[in-house]
Structure formats: C-alpha cells, structure tokens
Amino acid sequence: MNADEAASIVLNQAMQAAAQGTFAVGGAIIDNATGQVIHKMHNNVLKKLNTTGKAFTYDPTAHGESQLVYWYYENKAKLNLPEPEQLTIVTTLDPCAMCTGTLLSAGFNVGVIAMDDFAGINCDDNFSFNTLPPSLRDLAKSKFGYYACGDKNLDPSKYVRDYVGGSKVAFQDTTVSGQRLMGCGAIFDASVNQVREASSDAGLAPNKLSDPATLPENSPIKIKYRTIYPDAFKVKIPQPRLPGTELFDLLIKVKDSQSNAKNSVALLDPFGNVILCLPDTFYLSPVHTAFMNVTRHYATIRFNLMNDPATQAEAKQYLTHPKYGTFVFLHAPNPNDTTTIMTLGAYGSTLEGQVPQMFPAHFQYYLPPMEGNIKELRSVIMNLPKFYTEIAQISIMHVA
C-alpha cells in the first residue's frame, strides 16, 4: 500500500457519498505497522429519505473523518485495535474544524490529499495552522501530513508539492498522482454548494411550525427523544432566547449526573421547549462532548421520524432545523482545548448555512470557560476558516 493506493480507496468512498447526495468526502483508518485498511467510510451528513427519495440531514457531524473516530471507539475493545497514535486516518479532503478537533482530541495521525480553501483547517495552504489557536498549532503540525504530488503535466501550483507534516503519518514517503489529487478535490467542489443548501433549508420556519408540547404523551416525537433524555419536552422556557435560572439549574443537575463531565448543553426549540439537555460522556470516548451528544441525537432522531411514513407528517410539522432553536452551554468552551475546535466546527456544521440573525444569539452560555477566558474564545472563533466566519457566522454570547 502507498499514498496513491490509499487515495484511490478514499476517492471511491467520496464517489459513493456523491451518489448519496451528501458531501463528497471519504476516509479510511490505516494501520501504520502493516499499511492495511482497518475501516473506511464516507460522509453521511445527508441520507435519502425512504418517504420522498430526497436527501435530508441525517447527522451534521457525520463527516467521514469524525465517523471513523466514533467507529474506532465503538469497536476498539471488541476488535483489539491499536492506539490512535499507531494509526492514520487518510482523507480525501483537508479536514474541517470539527474533524480537526475530533482527530486531535483522539490522537490520530492524519494523511490529507486535496485542499479546501473555504472550510479546511489549512485553508490558506501554507501548513502553518493559523486557523488554530497558537497553543494547538505544534500538535497539529506533528499529527497532520499532506501527501506529495509530482505530476508536472498538470498545473504545477496545485499538482507539484512536497510532503509536509508529521513524522508518523502512514505512506509519507510516497506520492499521490495528479489524477487522484484532482479527483479528490473536484468531486467535492462539484456539489458542495448544492448539498450545503439542502442541509440548511430542511425545516419549517417558526411561524409555520406547531408546538410539540401540545402533542399527547404517547406521540412518537416525545417517546423517541425521551429514550435519550427522559425529560424531553417537559420543561418550557417562556422566552427561549432569554433563559433564566430554571435552565441554569437544569444544566447543573445534568452535568452533575455524569461523573467526569465538565459541561452540559441544552437545545431549546422556537417555543422554548427543552428538547435535549445532555452532559459530556467521556466514558465513551474523549470526543463525546455535551454539544456533540445533543446535535447528533437531535438530528438522527428527527431523520428517523422523517424517514417513517407513519411519523413523517408529524415530524415535519413539529420539528425543524436547529438553526431556529437555541443552544445553551453551562460553560463556554475552553479556548485552548482541541474539543473546542471540534465543538465550534460541529456547531457550524449543524447550521450549515447562515443563522437567522436575532438578538439574543442562537449560541449562549451561562458561565465562562473553565480555562482561559471569553475574549480568547472569541479570538479563536474569528480565526477559524472562512466558512465559519462568513457563512455560519458563529457568534457566542452570555445569557442575558
């Protein structure tokens, strides 16, 4: 196995993603010691609904790289897998902020083929990781590797480059062909805007939505969300953008319910219903943070309800895109933590488009970061790749 053969494998995954109607990115976990593929996956942010045949948001965090990390922790003990430091995740595209934070938090080496100048963590193409806080740049430089390419028959500014990156990335001494490099970039570029639009537009505006609190207790919506959070739709905040002490007390209670949890996050719908309020679950993995738990569960349950002919109409009328809700953190994320890069990136991926500009903000916190300060956090946000500052327009504010 070499870099070009690995590129062929992950490009095939990206092609499958494109056919599914989701972001055309693919990845694979490689055992550094043997060069063998342990597992491969493609992006699954959108999947086609059985009810309509149209692509719909399944899980905004289901990028190829992040899914591989979650798969790894689900199967590590069962399959007796090597430690992340002994593995490389090869990806068709420079990871976004979410995937970068996920990969760095877990400790994987990362082999990158094509660049992404809009959402990729190395969007400026100089491999200095200026989009990360200074405290994390050396770690990223030691873990990420960008494969060499020497195809002089194509544009040399894109297809002639030396390897840059860490010393433990699999296949670092081999090159990717211009054909593979071009394919990995082109297949993503061909549909990214269309897929992004489909992801961000899926849901009724609040003025057309019905309040799920009015549903009977045996409604599928309440039953499904209560399998994850037993108090789903039992608490209503009168002004969802102005949560008071009731939600603060709830976030404290939820965080304290899970040993080793550092934070908790609530998602309120436009009516003020607390849909989910979940803590970190680090016993599962270092990437199971409160926000990741909330956004993943909200989306996958909503998708499954939309995918069932018996519940689709109700789900469409009572559940909408999370951009119309409010995410409230107990603590603002720590500015120098790898999981914060993951969280900010996942928040951007959850929105996938511009948030309706309202005051107070869609992203709020009660308490300052446990380490660092809010000024540092805002600086981290402003230095993220352009997707997060120009499209998602991430903005965080203290609960008023």
- Residue pair 40/49 in contact by the 8 Å Cβ criterion: no
Per-state percent for the chain, helix, strand, coil, to nearest 5: 40, 15, 40
- The reported pLDDT for the residue numbered 157 is 67
How far is it, in rounded angstroms, from Cα 248 to Cα 390? Answer: 31
Q: Which domains does the chain have, with CATH numbers?
A: 3-200 (3.40.140.10), 206-398 (3.40.140)
How far is it, in rounded angstroms, from Cα 154 to Cα 28? Answer: 27
Contacts of 301 (CB under 8 A, 6+ apart): 224, 225, 228
- The reported pLDDT for the residue numbered 78 is 97
Q: pLDDT per residue over 234-273, tens digit each? A: 999 999 889 999 999 999 999 999 999 999 999 999 999 9
Residue 10 Cα to chain centre, angstroms: 19
Q: pLDDT per residue over 117-171, tens digit each? A: 999 999 998 899 999 999 999 999 999 999 999 776 767 666 678 999 999 999 9
Q: pLDDT per residue over 323-370, tens digit each? A: 999 999 999 999 999 999 999 999 999 998 776 666 788 999 999 999
Ramachandran category for residue 199: left, alpha or beta (phi over 0 → left; psi -120 to 50 → alpha)? alpha
**pTM score:** 0.95
Structure tokens at 42: 């493609």
Mean pLDDT rounded to a whole number for the chain: 95
Distances (CA, A) of 83 to 47, 80, 102, 167, 276: 31, 9, 15, 17, 32
- The reported pLDDT for the residue numbered 360 is 81
